[in-house]
Each structure stands twice: as structure tokens, then as C-alpha cells.
Amino acid sequence: MNDYIRIYTDAVYSLAKEEDMLGQFLNDMRAVRDILNEYPEYTALADAPTVETGERIELLDKAFSGQVSAYVLNFMKVLAEKRRMHMFEQCFDAFSARYNEEYNIVHVQAITAAALSEKMTDVLKEKLASTLGKTVILTNTVDPACMGGIILRYENKQIDGSVRARLETLRNQLTSAII
């Protein structure tokens, strides 16, 4: 992690914790991240050396005042003053990771050939929560290429229980047995 990102994230996380607003900061920062991803030209404008600092701050005020907490808006202003708005998403990711670690939350992506039913989603979440000892936030992604079964991705790990992976393993075993 970049030193600037660590410094900025530590500062904003400490403030959020001190003000007992971790959840609100996380939600506000997620909303800002989503907007900046949708309109990347806004980040470029906030970082542009040709735009004076006062104008950058004014643009942020007009766009986000009343939409996010004053603390998150001030954090954005600091980034804009330093022409580092391009680091916002990385700061959000670091903030979110720290939040998830503190509150024992894991995000799991379940990739399946067809969408999981609500019941299957609940059963899978319960099983994963029991196995991992964490609160599980599960998202289901449909990918017909997995052919059946499930692929789980979380914390830089992947568990591939897809039919496709099993067929690949079988093919490799048969190929090596023939050779």
C-alpha cells in the first residue's frame, strides 16, 4: 500500500472511530467511490493542475455538500488540494478492509452456472459463517461457463467446486495416465 494511502486512511479511520461514525463514513465513501467510478472525468478535473485549488474545492462543495458527512467531504477536499483524488478508491478500499477486519466481516463471491435461490444463499451464508467464524456478505455471480457446482472467492482465496474444474482435473488425469 502506498504511504500516502496509508496515512490518509489511518487519519480518516481514526476520525470516524473517534466520532463513532465508522458505518456512516463507510457508506458515504462507498457512495463517493461509485460516483467517481461512474464519472471518471470528475476525478481528472479534481486533480488537474490547470484548475485552481479554490475551484476544485468549490466543485466538491457543489457536488457533495449535504450528500455526504462534512468529515468525508473534508477528506475529499484534502485529497483535491493535494491533487490526489485519484487515490480515493484506494483509500476507500483500505478503509473498507480495515472496517471488515475490525468487525470480522468477509465478502464472498459465489460463482454459479445459474442464480442461487434465496434459500440456497441463506444456507451457503450460514455454512460459510460457521466455517470461517465471520459474518459473511455473499454476492452471487452467474457464469454459465462453470457448468454447475460453485466457485467461492474470498480473502484472496478461491475454492473451485465447479463441474468445469472437475472435468479439467479428470481430463488431466486421463491425459497423464495415457502418456
Portion of the chain with pLDDT greater than 90, in percent: 82
Whether 176 has a pLDDT exceeding 90, the answer reads: no
Q: What is the pLDDT of residue 103?
A: 96
CA–CA distance, 176 with 179 (Å, rounded to integer):
5
Same domain? For 125 and 72 the reply is no
Q: What CA dihedral angle connects 12, 15, 21 and 24, to 10 degrees? A: -20
Q: What is the pLDDT of residue 58?
A: 94
Same domain? For 110 and 171 the reply is yes
Same domain? For 136 and 159 the reply is yes
Same domain? For 114 and 149 the reply is yes
Q: Which domain holds residue 76?
A: 3-100
Instruction: Identify the domain boundary among 100, 117, 136.
Output: 100
We report the CATH number of the domain holding residue 90 as 1.10.520.20
Instruction: Identify the domain boundary among 100, 126, 155.
Output: 100
Same domain? For 94 and 78 the reply is yes
Same domain? For 25 and 79 the reply is yes
Residues 67-92 have pLDDT tens digits of 999 999 999 999 999 999 999 999 99
Contact between 27 and 96 (Cβ < 8 Å): no
Same domain? For 115 and 165 the reply is yes
Mean pLDDT, rounded, for 59-74: 94
Q: Domain total for the chain?
A: 2
Instruction: Identify the domain boundary among 72, 100, 128.
Output: 100
Same domain? For 29 and 117 the reply is no
Q: What is the pLDDT of residue 47?
A: 92
Among the residues of 70-153, which ranges form H helices?
Answer: 70-81, 88-102, 118-132
The whole-model pTM stands at 0.79
Write 29-38 long-range contacts (CB < 8 A, 24+): 29/68, 29/72, 29/88, 29/91, 29/92, 29/95, 29/96, 30/92, 30/96, 31/67, 31/68, 32/64, 32/68, 32/72, 32/76, 32/88, 32/92, 33/88, 33/89, 33/92, 36/85, 36/88, 36/89, 37/89
